[in-house]
Structure 1
Amino acid sequence: MFELDHVVYFTKKSPTEIAQEVSVEGIHPVEGGQHLQWGTHNALLYTKNSYIEYLAVENEDITTTSTHPLTQQLMNDLAFREGFGSVCLRSENLEEQNRYFQKLGYRTSGLLESERKTKNGAVRKWKMLFIEHKIDKKLPYPFFIQWENADDERYAMLREDGTIQPENEKLTITKCIFDVQDVNRKMTHWSRLLSLPIKGNQLKLGNTVFEFRQSKDTVERLQAIEIAKDN
């Protein structure tokens, strides 16, 4: 079963501004680093087993010419709104997932090698996989990630460099709420893609719930997330 790895929030603010201005349950994001090949940079707010990524343009010359699907969506969305843009699901075997999606008839990006240079100069690496679709105001499919390091090793490194403090691990993203124009149609597509049963207007992942709400807005996006804090 898939687990939520992170949600992506598109913003025009710099990681420094986000780290100073944003607070979730009294916890501030940290400056993440740079994606030099995409011309973007980010701030990150970790929870117990997922995180929020605040993604912004750092070098517009690079970003506007990038063919990376998430960068293209970033530029598309920032033309009319700031806000949640997409969700990323964690996988332990993206090659197998890619074959499965293609067997279902989806066209994919294939596995994309990715990396981020952190503020202290360390390099984090991972692989990504996207379902090909038109980038517009319709709800984008989730994309998928496989980290170079196992989760426990990755979190240990994040604790060591101060990205994750004990208070972060008291937080959990319990629900992601999507506003769409046709709930039944969208849920059918996502249920098939993720091999998850439909329960009412929800899909239950390993560590969170996806909920779909009817909306008349022409913009279909992740609208909100719910976060619980351990006492």
Structure 2
Amino acid sequence: MQNLKFDHIIHYIKHIDEFQYPGEILKVVPGGLHNRYGTHNKLAYTDLAYIELIGVNDEEKLKKVIKTNEGRVSFIAKIVQDNFKQGFKTFALRTDNIDKLKDELEAKGVETVGPIQMGRENKKGEQTSWQLLYLNQPHADLKPPFFIQWNKTEEERKATLESKFQPQFKIKAIEVQTTDTEQVVNQWRDWFDMEVIESDNDVTILKLPQEAIEFRIRKARKNGYDIVIQDKETEAPYNITTRGAEYHFLP
């Protein structure tokens, strides 16, 4: 599989312009407009891994887009499927060769949609562009991850974004709640070449071959995601629940 790495997790919130984390524990920076989807965002970077806070600025456009072949499998479809309920929706894995990744997935029998050219524009008119690849799983109970390839290298992006990094924090794990742990574990292991590093009756922990972030798959009554973040300046764990999402912090 094409050097997959965790890129970002999407947290949908309402009234994004006025949002700050409780106590401003994580700092957010402006993002821009996704004219294609009728959405806009703010970003909370730890390093090149980050949290995308996404809001809807054109609900009618969004509802039209999700009726297209691309839109029905996109991350924005989950916002509408959840009746605009706030919270984490899905996450993205980064690749450096999205076309080859598509070929590899389809060779495994996994249908995909894309690559799709995307971009956003900030208030200064500066453009950022990337490509997205989606799994053709519109009816999956748990929204699967999607894939992103940036138009710049990791070194170029780090040079541009490093001033926004918050080195006190590091994303350690994505908590995955699912009604069917066996299906999710088997699919992610087979599709993404994830490795099982630990498993018991409560949780199965998966990792990508070249990635430290864990994906902790747990049996639950609902399907969804939480995030685990290491805080290097704390001595005890703490949690923050905000806008329908749970953030777990560990020392």
TM-score normalised per structure 2: 0.81
Tell me how far 1:27 sits from its aligned partner. 2.7
Q: State whether residues 88 and 144 of structure 1, in contact with CA within 8 Å, keep that contact through their aligned partners in structure 2.
A: yes
Whole-Å Cα distance in 1 between the matches of residues 133 and 75 of structure 2? 10
Of 141, 148, 151 in structure 2, the residue corresponding to residue 148 of structure 1 is 151
Whole-Å Cα distance in 2 between the matches of residues 48 and 170 of structure 1? 10
- The code of the aligned residue for 1:35 comes to H
How many pairs align?
218
SS at match of 1:92: coil
Tell me whether 1:213 sits opposite 2:212 in the alignment.
Answer: no
Whole-Å Cα distance in 1 between the matches of residues 21 and 137 of structure 2? 32
Q: Which residue of 2 aligns with 1:101?
A: 105
Q: Which residue of 2 aligns with 1:229?
A: 231
Unaligned runs of 5+ in 2: 234-251
Tell me how far 1:174 sits from its aligned partner. 0.3
Runs of 4+ more than 2 Å apart: 23-27
1:161-184 Cα deviation digits (max 9, x unpaired): x6x05xx13321100001111212
5 Å matches for 1:1-231? Answer: 1-14=3-16, 16-18=17-19, 21-23=20-22, 26-66=25-65, 67=68, 68=71, 69-77=74-82, 79=83, 81-135=85-139, 138-159=141-162, 164-165=164-165, 168-199=166-197, 200=199, 201-205=204-208, 206-217=211-222, 220-222=223-225, 224-231=226-233
Tell me how far 1:89 sits from its aligned partner. 0.3
Q: State whether residues 75 and 89 of structure 2, in contact with CA within 8 Å, keep that contact through their aligned partners in structure 1.
A: no
Whole-Å Cα distance in 2 between the matches of residues 71 and 103 of structure 1? 27
TM-score normalised per structure 1: 0.88
Residue identity over aligned pairs, in percent, reads 27
Unaligned runs of 5+ in 1: none
Tell me how far 1:156 sits from its aligned partner. 1.6
Greater fraction of residues in strand:
2
Q: State whether residues 4 and 207 of structure 1, in contact with CA within 8 Å, keep that contact through their aligned partners in structure 2.
A: no
Whole-Å Cα distance in 1 between the matches of residues 169 and 116 of structure 2? 30
